[in-house]
Amino acid sequence: MKEFDDAAATKARNRQAELTKPPGSLGRLETLAEFMAGWQGNARPRIDRAQALVFAGNHGITAQGVNPFPPEVTAQMVANFEAGGAAINQLCRVAGADLSVVAMDLDRPTADFTQGMALEVPDLVASIQTGKDAVDPDADILLLGEMGIGNSTVAAALAAATFGGTAADWVGPGTGADEAIMQRKIAAVDAGLKRHKGAASAASILGSYGGREQAAICGAVIRARELGIPVILDGFICCAAAGVLMVNDRNALDHCLIGHASAEPGHRRLIAVLKKEPVVGLDMRLGEGTGAAVALLILRAALECHNGMATFAEAGIG
Ligand SMILES: Cc1cc2ncn([C@H]3O[C@H](COP(=O)(O)O)[C@@H](O)[C@H]3O)c2cc1C
Ligand SMILES: O=C(O)c1cccnc1
């Protein structure tokens, strides 16, 4: 497991102080460069290869009528990703990220978590491994996203099981739930929390509620940490998935940035418990990794300044 390299981060901070600008004037662009320096172990961090991984899965909880769009849309969107027609394709292109989509047994939805375990142990273990194996060891940064109809309900259940609070605290409109769907979402999460109230480890929480893509996100976050690759998480659904790892290790997400503040209300609560400031806030609420891809543009801006600017000495200023 790679840890934050304080010496590289300090060197980066010292360099920021020497660049031709008033100290601190690039604001968070400066601290983002330091973050990258520490996690890459390099005072001049680079993003030559940005990898974006979108994990897709289907969910038995959709039987409870928690989703405005039908579950068929998951596979249809995967086809759209492969054809280049989704928002994430455009954003990865402009941000310079290589996108891979990992469809996880879409014809075999997880079990309805109000009725039993969403994922049996072998399926859970295999899904975590799929996430680990998908990470390119040569990546300089990893962006994570998901696609799965029903996922805003799964995310609410995972967040409540991990961080406490009621179903109503975490449930939001997702793709556009009306009042009736909202009530069914809250009832489904409540029922799940009752059924699985003994779930106390990351593995038991992931197995209880699923899904495969959430388990894969956890696997990718763990693998990136082993490899010393910083991660950009997407919005509510992605953060709720990765957040489960904090049950076992409260520092498990130290190498992760939150790409954006989603408009999904539960994300605000999640951001507060994760104690991280999102890179951007654009009122997006899509998923797919789109907020992470927009954040990569900002990160690239930060590193262009960090690496390309002249120092006061070089420019003969001051
Ligand atoms: C066309 C379309 C494209 C999407 N891309 C991401 N999501 C997002 O919506 C889903 C969660 O919302 P809910 O819980 O309301 O089903 C996830 O798949 C998420 O990635 C989409 C949803 C739709 C309909
Ligand atoms: O923030 C998210 O991840 C999100 C919000 C609404 C719908 N899909 C995803």
Query: Is the CB of 236 within 6 Å of ligand 2?
Result: yes
The answer to the question of residue 77 being in a domain is yes
Q: Report the separation in Å between the CA atom of 302 and the middle of ligand 2, taken as the mean of its atom positions.
A: 26
Same domain, 28 and 154: no
Q: Report the separation in Å between the CA atom of 180 and the middle of ligand 2, taken as the mean of its atom positions.
A: 19
Residue tagged active-site, from 120, 277, 288, 314: 288
pLDDT of residue 283: 98
The answer to the question of residue 100 being in a domain is yes
Test site for ligand 1: of 175, 267, 286, most ligand atoms within 8 A of the Cβ: 175
The answer to the question of residue 1 being in a domain is no
pLDDT of residue 262: 98
Tokens at 155, concatenated = 């995310």
The answer to the question of residue 231 being in a domain is yes
Minimum-distance ligand 2 atom for the alpha carbon of 284: 1
The predicted model gives 59-63 an average pLDDT of 98
Query: Is the CB of 151 within 6 Å of ligand 1?
Result: yes
Looking at ligand 1, which residue's alpha carbon is closest to its atom 21? 286
Same domain, 262 and 157: yes
pLDDT of residue 318: 87
Q: How many domains does the chain have?
A: 2
The answer to whether residue 1 scores a pLDDT higher than 80 is no
**% of the chain surpassing 90 pLDDT:** 99
Q: In CATH, what number is assigned to the domain containing residue 28? A: 1.10.1610.10
Residues in contact with 115: Cβ distance below 8 Å, sequence separation at least 6, in sequence order = 60, 195
The answer to the question of residue 278 being in a domain is yes
Write down the pTM of the prediction.
0.99
Same domain, 129 and 32: no
Q: Report the separation in Å between the CA atom of 85 and the middle of ligand 1, taken as the mean of its atom positions.
A: 15
Same domain, 106 and 27: no
| 2 pLDDT tier (thresholds 50, 70, 90) | confident
CB atoms within 10 A of CB 10: 14
Q: Report the separation in Å between the CA atom of 174 and the middle of ligand 2, taken as the mean of its atom positions.
A: 6
224 touches 230 (CB < 8 A): yes
Per-residue pLDDT tens digits for 96-146: 999 999 999 999 999 999 999 999 999 999 999 999 999 999 999 999 999
Give which of 249, 247, 200 is closest to 225, Cα–Cα: 249
Same domain, 13 and 112: no
Looking at ligand 2, which residue's alpha carbon is closest to its atom 9? 287
Same domain, 265 and 156: yes
Query: Is the CB of 62 within 6 Å of ligand 1?
Result: no
Same domain, 39 and 115: no
The answer to the question of residue 273 being in a domain is yes
- Number of the ligand closest to the Cα of 86: 1
pLDDT of residue 132: 99
Indicate if 288 belongs to the active site: yes
Per-residue pLDDT tens digits for 262-315: 999 999 999 999 999 999 999 999 999 999 999 999 999 999 999 999 999 999
Query: Is the CB of 51 within 6 Å of ligand 1?
Result: no
Q: In CATH, what number is assigned to the domain containing residue 244? A: 3.40.50.10210
Query: Is the CB of 288 within 6 Å of ligand 1?
Result: yes
Q: What is the mean pLDDT of the chain?
A: 98
In the numeric block, the tokens 């009122």 are attached to 283
Same domain, 197 and 310: no
Same domain, 102 and 214: yes
Same domain, 220 and 132: yes
Domain that holds residue 23: 6-45+304-315
- Number of the ligand closest to the Cα of 147: 1
Per-residue pLDDT tens digits for 237-259: 999 999 999 999 999 999 999 99
Same domain, 100 and 142: yes
Query: Is the CB of 291 within 6 Å of ligand 1?
Result: no
Q: Report the separation in Å between the CA atom of 264 and the middle of ligand 2, taken as the mean of its atom positions.
A: 6
Per-residue pLDDT tens digits for 163-222: 999 999 999 999 999 999 999 999 999 999 999 999 999 999 999 999 999 999 999 999
Same domain, 252 and 293: yes
Q: Report the separation in Å between the CA atom of 170 and the middle of ligand 1, taken as the mean of its atom positions.
A: 17
Query: Is the CB of 140 within 6 Å of ligand 1?
Result: no
Query: Is the CB of 4 within 6 Å of ligand 1?
Result: no
